[in-house]
Structure 1
Amino acid sequence: MSTEDSNSSANRRGAALQVHLLGIVDFDAALALQERLVYELTGRSDQQGALLLCEHPPLITIGREGSRGHIQAEDRELQARRVPVRRLGRGGGTFMHMPGQLAIYPVLPLSRMDVSVMEFRERLEDAVVDVCEELMVPAERQADKPGVFCHHGQVAHTGIAVKRWVTCHGLYLNVNLDLNWLKLVGSNSLATRPTTLAAQRTRVTEMSQVRESVVRHVATRFNYDHTNLYTSHPMLKRTYQTVAMRA
């Protein structure tokens, strides 16, 4: 084995996926934490990565493929519902977020993992397909359409960004939420209606069960043999105190 191959193998063995379960956290706080982790990972030489799992209070985000025209509500209605709108430098379209939707944010050093941006998206979506199938929900990813799709609609939306070859943002999996809230955002260019795991299974689906499955399948898809699990992060600065009502 060459010195380069030996070093790469050692990096894989020594690296772990640092998993942080954040609960319900405001979007800006989660974004700031991702940016901090991106900065930290760019200074490392191994393949250690982070995975943030959380839920957000109600808001709408607009990615590079989205627009205000995808929002099916006037500004007055959004203000009355206290739903802010944010434009972001991520891929993907216009997404509705709220408690009951699991935000999956992998912060991974692609260049040191020898993974392309497209392959990252494919592996992330495949991990969520694995989660769905483990819950007895047939699902698939599509090469030309970011996200994860079930028979009755789109169950997950993908919107990623890469900074200095480290990933941020990620994927949003609809677990157990009110579909009426999702109707605030149109179907974008995919003409696919949204759905949830709970709707597909016709019963309430526990978020803790989904989180545990996501951790296992993301670690497997990105070849992490070790995961370290934390219930928060010391650099997370929460500003949102009121827990939004679940579906």
Structure 2
Amino acid sequence: MLIIQAGFAINDDIQKGIGFMGLFQHRPDVSLFPADPDLPVRVCDYGLMPYPAAMDALQSMVADRTKNRIPDTLMLLEHPPTYTMGLRAKKEHLLVSESELKSRNIEFFHADRGGDITFHGPGQLVGYPVLDLKTGKPNIRRYINRLENVIIQAIAGFGVAAHRNAGFPGVWAGSRKIAAIGIRINADGISSHGFAINVNTDLTFFRHIIPCGLREATVTSLAGITGIPVEMEKVKQSVAAAFLSEFQTR
């Protein structure tokens, strides 16, 4: 049985296991609170969204969360082909010129997040948590670990045994990286940016960069591991359930 809410199908077992209605809100008015105020986090699905528009929405959410106008929120979305460079990125980790990227209709942006260079594109699920972490001093390492927990738990349901790689934020399947993490926590303790999971991603785009600045690292995807395309909606549901489970408490 599928339960339809706000235009999205939600598996009945997930619905019963989490005990809520209205998991997803599609392109919501960010001033609205979820139907169930007892939920620890609101999950919003924005579909395919250009990077600049997503950053505008993210910054607006951060401002609203700072003023307590909205609850903690997880944005889920995909981007058109885009490379972004974090605050610790080196220019030489982009292996092609920006003019060549333009000729291929690939966008390029500098991002105010931690980490190095990465790729975003269709078939990759991006999550931007906007959370109030200012209770006490935000523990950045612990927060990253919790995001890793979410990803590991979420993709386990697809038969993928993933793990951390000590000293390198993100999630790995064997020797290959399947998910990247790059975050920002502002002076008010509000998080932004987040994680990216390769689901059905075209991995050839990673040939033009040194992903996350790791020269020896290779990347993989859920589809690459399972050998078949993976339904993105099911991944969204799994990530949302894992996120709500992990962040029920702070």
TM-score category (smaller protein): 0.7 to 0.9
Instruction: Kindly report the root-mean-square deviation, in angstroms, between the aligned alpha carbons of the 2 structures.
Output: 2.0
Deviation digits for residues 80-114 of structure 1, max 9, x if unmatched?
Answer: 11112211121111011111111111100001387
Choose the corresponding residue for 2:131, options 97, 108, 123: 108
**Partner residue in 1 for 2:162:** 139
Give TM-score scaled by structure 2 length: 0.79
Residues of 2 paired with 1:60 and 1:98: CA distance?
Answer: 9
**Partner residue in 1 for 2:44:** 20
**Partner residue in 1 for 2:76:** 53
**Partner residue in 2 for 1:38:** 62
* Equivalent residue letter for 2:239: V
Contact 2:155-2:238 within 8 A present in 1 as well: no
* Equivalent residue letter for 1:107: V
Give TM-score scaled by structure 1 length: 0.80
Further displaced range: 50-59 or 145-154: 145-154
Shift of 1:77: 2.3
**Partner residue in 2 for 1:201:** 226
Residues of 2 paired with 1:101 and 1:45: CA distance?
Answer: 30
> Which ranges in structure 1 are unaligned for 5 or more consecutive residues?
1-12, 225-247
* Equivalent residue letter for 1:199: G
**Partner residue in 2 for 1:181:** 205
Contact 2:40-2:248 within 8 A present in 1 as well: no
Larger relative contact order, structure 1 or 2 (CA cutoff 8 Å, min sep 6): 1
Q: Secondary structure at the match of 1:220?
A: helix
Cα 1:50–1:190, aligned 2, differ >3 Å: closer, same or farther? Answer: farther
Residues of 2 paired with 1:165 and 1:15: CA distance?
Answer: 20
Further displaced range: 111-120 or 129-138: 111-120
**Partner residue in 1 for 2:193:** 169
Shift of 1:191: 2.1
Contact 1:153-1:195 within 8 A present in 2 as well: yes
Residues of 1 paired with 2:55 and 2:166: CA distance?
Answer: 27
Pairs within 5 Å for 1:217-228: 217-223=242-248
> Which ranges in structure 2 are unaligned for 5 or more consecutive residues?
1-36
Deviation digits for residues 187-235 of structure 1, max 9, x if unmatched?
Answer: 42362101111101111111101000000001111116xxxxxxxxxxx
Q: Secondary structure at the match of 1:72?
A: coil
Q: Secondary structure at the match of 2:60?
A: helix
Contact 2:223-2:229 within 8 A present in 1 as well: yes
Residues of 2 paired with 1:114 and 1:214: CA distance?
Answer: 26
Contact 2:154-2:239 within 8 A present in 1 as well: yes
The answer on 1:69 being equivalent to 2:85 is: no
The answer on 1:158 being equivalent to 2:181 is: yes
**Partner residue in 1 for 2:236:** 211
Deviation digits for residues 127-151 of structure 1, max 9, x if unmatched?
Answer: 0011121111110123410110011
Identity across aligned pairs (percent)?
A: 28
Residues of 1 paired with 2:103 and 2:242: CA distance?
Answer: 39
